[in-house]
Each structure stands twice: as structure tokens, then as C-alpha cells.
Amino acid sequence: MTTDGNTKTGGMISGSMLAIDAKDMHYKELNKIIRESILSGVKNILLENVNGQYYIGDGIKGDDITITVNGVPGNDLGVFMDGPSIIVNNNVQDNIGNTMNAGKITVNGDAGDVIGYGMRGGRIYIRGNAGYRIGIHMKGYNEQIPVIIIGGKVGSFFGEYMAGGVMVLLSLDNSEESVGEYFGVGMHGGAIYMKQKIDFSKYSKEVEFLEANDSDMSFLKKYLSEYAKDFNLSSEDLIKGPFYKIIPSSARPYAHLYTSAAF
Amino acid sequence: MTKSSFTNVQSEYLAVIDHAKCIRCKRCIQNCGWGTYSFGGDKIIADHSKCVACGRCYTYCPEGAISILKNPTVMRENGNWQDYHIKNIWRQSETGGIAISGMGTPLKYKKYFDHILLDACQVTNPPIDPLREPMELKTFLGKKPSKIELDFNEDGQPVLKNKMPPQIELATPFMFAPMSYGSISLNAQKAMALAARALGIVMNIGEGGLHDELVPFGKNIIVQVASGRFGVNRDYLNSGAAVEIKIGQGAKPGIGGHLPGEKIGADISRTRMIPAGTDAISPAPHHDIYSIEDLRQLIYAIKEAVNYEKPVSVKVAAVHNIAAIVSGVVRAGADIVYIDGFSGGTGAAPTIVRDNVGIPIEIALAQVDQRLREEGIRNEASLIAAGSIRSSADAVKAIALGADAVAIGTAALITMGCHVCGKCHTGNCSWGITTQRPELTRRLDPEEYGEKLYNLINAWSHEMKEVLGAMGVNSIESLRGSKERLRGIELTDSELKALGIKHAGM
């Protein structure tokens, strides 16, 4: 362990910066050190040699906390997280930002399946591609709007059951169609923006495909500028339209399906 | 298609007013959540087609002028084509919809609790009088150590060396079953929270999130994480006595939650973070759980978030292979497994699922307890049994079949006035229980019904002590999984074998 460049071993370190060598460390031990160092006032944590440890940043709180991850973190990165930022300088696995409440996860690579499940707030920015079932059952209420931006393409069931929040699919460096099957099935709230114009007729009948208007663009600008800055991309290129918007055609896609039984 | 003005769907009940007794006070109009009554200038008029026999109007009619009758117009009797088959065909052929119902199944399946009798002491071992001798009902839910390790202090007294995993302490082996804010009203949840606190037990808030007004009851609350993840965040996970992952429900195994849009007003929209008026849908699976290994992942994600300080419960529906499933759930790290049997209640479920899917809790419980004992892991988790526990007798039998505690849902609602009309999904509950309409919810006084719930659990606990005493045991723990104290009547050999009990006389 090092703090501000001074090597220390054992014990907790107070101060604002902590480096942890996660090589061969079990997730339970690693996350305990993270939790305890945050309690003792550490604001910046650098994790080296991460190799598949689960639950990094699980349920941690505090807007001024940053965790930088070198290596590939395991499943459930940032699960239940409430405020901190996690920067991953590599790919990530499944379930990142699971039921996350606030904060930010930045991924300089690709992501696995089920990203941002039931996400309630905060941002997940992925530079590369992401797998199946991204942003399913994302939620939102008034100003609390979770945002996921994906640079590349995604797998099937993108935005399934989506109830709120915003997802943006940029399709950078990607000429083929960037979405898989069952796009937006059961979507009943929130919005998905795409840079690629796709033939939407083969996807969900429960959503509508529109061109984004000025108010959509002014909302997106803030997030896209931040995304461009995080990944050293040109903000102008990124924001340049047109963008397409997918929204649910009804808040109750299944209302007609039911009838009250005799008993 | 144009709709015919005639319908085969006829009134189930007749709301009959004795106009000689009626003083036209219009209380029935106010009290009925279904809009059955209106004032016709000089008298009350009833629209029978709207009546569901919820009992609210005659309970509050000051003159006793209302009678609710079953519609005497007969349908031609047929032992095969039952009323409900015919009526559902008519309803579905008019709407094309999936038939949806509330509460547990009303169909007459065999109820195994009614075919099990308890033992008592005679001569050779003395019964205990629970009114004058100590009788312990206290129950701890959570993982127990596989063996006791002791140290001795300087006085030579034994001191427990094991570090006990986190437990829920119940003063009596009852809890209130998970029912969400949304499916039931906040006042109904408050009544259970008040009773749970007074009784030293817990209530479970279901999957709809924790309302601010329930936060002070944290010690007596289990918070739930279901596939919709409504209201779930780190503070939520840390606000109760335990966290429960809901996989399934006895009334609807294998399908997700469905809170109809009629019940999603502004406050539910806020607590669930979904649009007002939408249907609140919980996916059939948790999409981060497709295997026992994935379940382990979520169990430990929660344990990490609560710093290993709270037990994690997993709720599953009783299905055919329940023993193997629960074994997997326990090995995945669950501290408590809640098994919800066929005939358990619901706020809304497709009728076909409610009435046809799952297995009875009695058999599920016996099989699970047996399997966990055989595998030597019964101590790894506590078992909660639910799925229409109708009396203290059902509770005692469930514990003897292997449960550590039982959960009551429908019985708690009946305490609050529910007449089991099965229309919870409509949001019209006249008793203010399964509705979010403010004019209906405000009539449910949490203090008043909290006291009634307190009375009920107290009465059932006393009854439990009576039969424990008769059986000559002085603590509920001594009865747990003690199938030798049970005997079956009117059961086949296969049924007795599934229950792990002998026939009466054997």
C-alpha cells in the first residue's frame, strides 16, 4: 500500500490518497479496505492489478470519492453505489452499475451484459461496445435521471422494461447495425437516443422512432461534452446531429392484456 | 368490434336495501369503493353488477338495512362445467384478456393442514401448564454455527467462542408477509409496522420501496429486493433488520410482479421511480440471476453493501423440485429461506397461474427440511413458511413440519377488514387496504388496526403455548421439524411419505 508516494504496509491509512495492489486479493478483503479507507477520509483510491474481483465500490457513498481501476474488475462493479466516481482503464465484466443510485462509472473499453440494471441515477460512460440487456428497467423521477452512453454497439434486449432515464448509443467506428434483437421491448418510460438511423420496423411495436429536436439536443449536449472530454474525443463531432430518439408509444403497453376474473 | 349492449356477465351478488329501515344517510354510498350505490332522488339505488360482497356497506349501515345476497338466479348445475369456468369464458370472450385475480386461489384443493393432527402427553410424560410455567416462543432467524465452541472465563464459566452470524430476533414465531406499498396502502403497512413493533416481530415491506413514514420502524422491518428493484439503494438495504431477495411468490411462481396502472398515483410513482399511471412490472427473472451462482452473486452484493451485518433472506415459491432448489439457495449463502406455498396470496396474478401452479406449503416444507437435514446444512439457514396460514394450528403444524417461523399475509388483511373478495388488482378496496384512492385509504386507521393485529398474534401465540404445553415441550424450538408429533388422517401412503409423517394410530 502506498499513500501520497510513501510506502506503508498494514493498518488503515488516513489522508486523501490511497493506492492498493489488488494482486491475488480476495474481493472481501479488497472491498473491506476500500470501505474502511473511505470511512477514514480517503478521497482518491488507485487500485492496481485488479483481476476479476467482484463488487468494487459496492454501496459506497460520497460525491467527492474517486476510484481508479487498473486491470479488469469483476461483476457488479459499482452495485448500489451512491455518489462516487469509478474510472476503469480497461474492459469491465457483467452487471456494472447494478441498481446504482448516483455517481459515475467511466469505462475505457468494452462492457459485458446487464449494465445499469434498475439504475436510478448517475452516469455510466462506456467507450467501446456493451453486451446483452443494457439498461433494463432503468428508472427516473423528476430531476433524478440516470444516463448511460455507449460508444460502440450493444446486444439484444437493449432498454428492455425501461421505465425512465436516458440511454445514448453512439455507434462510433461502427458501420453495421448497432443493436441486436428485441430492442426496447416492454419500454414504458425514459428515452433512448441513437446516432445511427436504423430500420425500426423490425423492432418493438411498443416504441416510436423520431428525430431528436432542439430540446433533446440541449439536454444531450451536457452529457456528450463530458463523454467527449473523458475519452479525448471531439465534442463537436459527437454532438453533430442528427440524433434519433426512441420513446415508448404508451405508458401502459400491456393494459389491454388483462381482464378481471370472475373470482 | 362493436360491443353488444347485452352481456352474459351477470351480477354475482345482489345488494338489497330494506327501504323501510333505510334512513337515507348515504353512508353506503360513501363507504362502497365500487360505486354500487347512488341516490335516486328519494331512495338509495343499487347497481348489483358492481357489488363484490366486500361487506363494507352492511358493516357501516347504522340501521342494518342492507343485505348482500348471492344472486339467486341459477346457472344450470353441472358438476364438470363449474360456474367459474363458464363466467371466465364469457368475460374473456368479451375482452380477449388474460383473466387476472387477487388473493390466493379460492378453488377447493386438498388442504394438508386439515389432515394433520397433533400429539399430546398422557400419563407417561407430563404435559406443561403454559399459564403457570415458562414457555419459550422466542425465535432467532439466521445462519447458526454447525457446532458450539466454548471458552471458559476465570470463574470457570463457559463463554461462547463462535462469532454468531447476524440474526433477526422474533418474540413469537410469526411475521407479516411481504406486501408492497402500491399493492396495499401506506396505512395498511403502518398498521402492520405498529403491531410488529409492539409484538417484537417483523413485517416485510414487499418490493415497492420504503416510505419515509416507515423509516422509524426499521428494527421491525424486512426490506425486499425484487426483480423490479423498486426503491432499492444502499440506504434502503441498511434501513431494516434484514434484506430479502424475492425470487418467487406462491400465488404466481415463475412470473413477475404486476401492479396495475390504476394503483400508480403520484406517490407510488415517486417511491418506485416510474411514470404515473403505468403498469409497474417486475420482470419474471432477476436479469442478473440465471443460476444458483448468480443468486450467490446478488446475495453477496447485498452482504457487502450491509457490511455483513444483516441476514439475507431469499423468498421462493414452492414448486415441484423445491427441496433441491432450497438446497442450492442455502449453499448460495442465504441466511433465511422464505418458502411461499400454493394458495398464498397476491395483489394481482393471472388466474391460470394462481389456480394451477406450485405445490402446497405443507409438502414443500417437509421435503425441504428433510433434504437440508440429510445434507447436513439445516443449520445454515432458517426457514419461513407461508401460503395461507389461517390459524395458530396451521402455524404449529408448519413448525413441526420444519419451519422456524411462519408469515401471515391474508390473515393480517382479514384483521383489517378484508372479506377476501379477490379484487385487490382493481384498486377499489372499500376497506382502504388494497387501494391508493385517498378517500378510501384514510378510513384505515393504523392505530386501530395495529391493535387488532397485535391482539391476533397475541391470541395465536397463547394458543401455540397451549398445544406446546399439551405436547410436554416448553419451547417452540423443541417442536421444530419434529414430525414424530404429527399424524395424518385421510391421507394416502404417498401423501404421508411426502409429508414425512405416519398415519394416525401408527
Residue B130 lies in a domain: no
Cβ distance of B278 and A164 shorter than 8 Å: no
Q: Are B236 and B211 in contact (CB under 8 A)?
A: no
Q: Is B413 helix (H, G, I), strand (E, B) or coil?
A: helix
Count of C-beta atoms within a 10 Å radius of residue A180: 17
B353 lies in the same domain as B427: yes
ipTM above 0.95, yes or no: no
Cβ distance of A262 and B91 shorter than 8 Å: yes
Bridge-based pairing of strands A123-126 and A147-150 is: parallel
Instruction: Inform me whether the C-beta atom of residue A143 falls under 8 Å from chain B C-beta atoms.
Output: no
Residue B365 lies in a domain: yes
Cβ distance of A260 and B425 shorter than 8 Å: yes
Residue B121 lies in a domain: no
Residue type present at position B142: G
Residue B456 lies in a domain: yes
pLDDT higher than 80, residue A242: yes
| Matching residue, cell 328519494 | B42
B-chain residues near A95 (CB < 8 A) = 288, 297
pLDDT in tens, B481-505: 999 999 999 999 999 999 999 999 9
Q: Is B313 helix (H, G, I), strand (E, B) or coil?
A: strand
Distance between A37 CA and the closest CA of chain B, angstroms: 14
- The pLDDT score that the predictor gives to residue A12 is 45
> Which of B210, B158, B127, B200 lies closest to B465 in space, CA to CA?
B127
Cβ distance of B97 and A144 shorter than 8 Å: no
Q: To probe the interface with A, which of B234, B245, B252, B263 has the most A CB atoms within 10 Å?
A: B234
pLDDT in tens, B155-196: 999 998 989 999 999 999 999 999 999 999 999 999 999 999
> For residue B273, what is the DSSP state?
T
B269 lies in the same domain as B366: yes
Cβ distance of B304 and A55 shorter than 8 Å: yes
Angle at B102 between CA B99 and CA B104, to 5 degrees: 110
What is the distance between the alpha carbons of residues B170 and B196, in angstroms, rounded to a whole number?
10
Q: Which residue has the higher pLDDT, B5 or B16?
A: B16
A-chain residues near B281 (CB < 8 A) = 161, 186, 188, 254
Delimit the domains of chain A by residue range.
110-251
pLDDT more than 70, % of chain B:
99
pLDDT higher than 90, residue A175: no
The set of cell numbers assigned to B13 is 351478488
Mean pLDDT of chain A: 90
B212 lies in the same domain as B75: no
Q: State which residue of chain B sits closest to A94, comparing Cα positions.
A: B288
Which pLDDT band, with edges at 50, 70 and 90, does B220 fall under? very high
- The pLDDT score that the predictor gives to residue A63 is 95
- The pLDDT score that the predictor gives to residue B83 is 87
B-chain residues near A35 (CB < 8 A) = 307
Which pLDDT band, with edges at 50, 70 and 90, does A230 fall under? very high
Cis peptide before B173 (omega within 30 of 0): no
B159 lies in the same domain as B79: no
- The pLDDT score that the predictor gives to residue A1 is 42
B175 lies in the same domain as B26: no
Sequence-separated (6 or more) residues with CB below 8 Å from residue A68: A44, A45, A46, A47, A86, A87, A89
Mean pLDDT of chain B: 95
pLDDT higher than 70, residue A14: no
Sheet holding B502-503, edge to edge: B116-118, B486-488, B502-503
Specify burial of residue B195 (Cβ count, 10 A radius: 0-12, 13-18, 19+).
buried
pLDDT higher than 90, residue B117: yes
Count of C-beta atoms within a 10 Å radius of residue B462: 15
Angle between helices B186-199 and B446-470 (to 10 degrees): 40
What is the distance between the alpha carbons of residues A149 and A106, in angstroms, rounded to a whole number?
10
Q: What is the CA radius of gyration of chain A?
A: 20
- The pLDDT score that the predictor gives to residue A203 is 78
Residue type present at position B184: I
B191 lies in the same domain as B58: no
Mean pLDDT calculated for residue range A106-128: 97
Taking the alpha carbons at both ends of chain B, their separation in whole angstroms is: 64
pLDDT higher than 60, residue A43: yes
- Across the interface, of B106, B228, B261, the residue whose CB is closest to A263 is B106
pLDDT in tens, B241-292: 999 999 999 999 999 888 888 889 888 988 888 888 888 888 899 999 999 9
- The pLDDT score that the predictor gives to residue B70 is 93
- The pLDDT score that the predictor gives to residue A11 is 40
pLDDT higher than 80, residue B109: yes
B88 lies in the same domain as B209: no
Count of structural domains, chain B: 2
Q: What is the CA radius of gyration of chain B?
A: 24
pLDDT more than 90, % of chain B:
86
pLDDT in tens, B405-452: 999 999 999 999 999 999 999 999 999 999 999 999 999 999 999 999
Cβ distance of A188 and B272 shorter than 8 Å: no
Cβ distance of A188 and B305 shorter than 8 Å: no
Three-class DSSP labels, chain A: CEECCEECCCCCCCCCEEEEECCCCCHHHHHHHHHHHHHCCCCEEEEEEEECCCCCCCCCECCCCEEEEEEECCCCCCCCCEEEEEEECCCCCCCCCCCCCEEEEEECCCCCCCCCCCCCCCEEEECCCCCCCCCCCCCCECCECCEEEECCCCCCCCCCCCEEEEEEECCCCCCCCCCCCCCCCCCCEEEEEECCCCCHHHCCCCEEEEECCHHHHHHHHHHHHHHHHHCCCCHHHHHCCCCEEEEECCCCCCHHHEEECCC
Instruction: Inform me whether the C-beta atom of residue A216 falls under 8 Å from chain B C-beta atoms.
Output: no
Angle between helices B292-305 and A27-39 (to 10 degrees): 20
In chain A, residues 49-78 whose CB comes closer than 8 Å to chain B: 54-55, 58-61, 75-76
Q: Are B289 and B314 in contact (CB under 8 A)?
A: no
pLDDT in tens, B321-346: 999 999 999 999 999 999 999 999 99
B93 lies in the same domain as B144: no
- The pLDDT score that the predictor gives to residue B2 is 46
pLDDT more than 90, % of chain A:
75
Which pLDDT band, with edges at 50, 70 and 90, does B8 fall under? confident
pLDDT in tens, B34-62: 999 999 989 999 999 999 999 999 999 99
- The pLDDT score that the predictor gives to residue B5 is 56
pLDDT in tens, B341-393: 999 999 999 999 999 999 999 999 999 999 999 999 999 999 999 999 999 99
List the domain range (segments joined by +) for residue B236. 139-503
Q: To probe the interface with A, which of B243, B273, B281 has the most A CB atoms within 10 Å?
A: B273
- Return the biggest CA–CA distance within chain A: 74
Instruction: Inform me whether the C-beta atom of residue A26 falls under 8 Å from chain B C-beta atoms.
Output: no
| Matching residue, cell 466516481 | A85
B214 lies in the same domain as B295: yes
Which pLDDT band, with edges at 50, 70 and 90, does A13 fall under? low
A-chain residues near B227 (CB < 8 A) = 137
Domain A110-251 has CATH 2.160.20.60: yes
- The pLDDT score that the predictor gives to residue A239 is 94
Cβ distance of B275 and A261 shorter than 8 Å: no
- Across the interface, of A114, A252, A262, the residue whose CB is closest to B287 is A114
| Matching residue, cell 481501476 | A69
In chain A, residues 78-97 whose CB comes closer than 8 Å to chain B: 79-82, 94-95
Residue B400 lies in a domain: yes
